[in-house]
Amino acid sequence: MGSKKFDFMCTFDVLKRLKEEEFIIEDFFARNIQMEFPDGYSLLAHLHRTGVAINTQNQSIGEKRRIVQSFKNHTGKAYLNFKLLFVYCRKKSLS
């Protein structure tokens, strides 16, 4: 299974956006997470349940089916790697 990148904001951009929205950042940290699944289809099912989707907007039904089939064909362990950003912040007071 080939890896597909998602277009998530990096830590710097998230913190910048919060500051632009007048939040005061007290603290933040990031954690790298790896989840293991028994097979590719279990990983795909997890992504579906959590609302994450592979960007298939410009792909035909046949191409989408091939993507699902590639996950089904991956019968060995599959790994999902991601980073969680935790931010402790507060909105600037209006006074």
Query: Mean pLDDT of all residues in the chain?
Result: 88
Please name the amino acid found at residue 11: T
Write down the residue that tokens 């933040």 correspond to.
28
Which sequence spans correspond to the domains of the chain? Answer: 9-32+85-95, 39-76
Q: What is the pLDDT of residues 11-22, one digit of tens each?
A: 999 999 999 999
CA-based torsion, 15, 16, 22, 27: positive or negative: positive
Q: Any bridge partners for residue 88, and if so which?
A: 27
pLDDT score recorded for residue 80: 94
Residue 87 CA to residue 26 CA, distance in Å, equals: 8
Given a cut of 50, the residues of the chain with pLDDT beneath it are 2-3
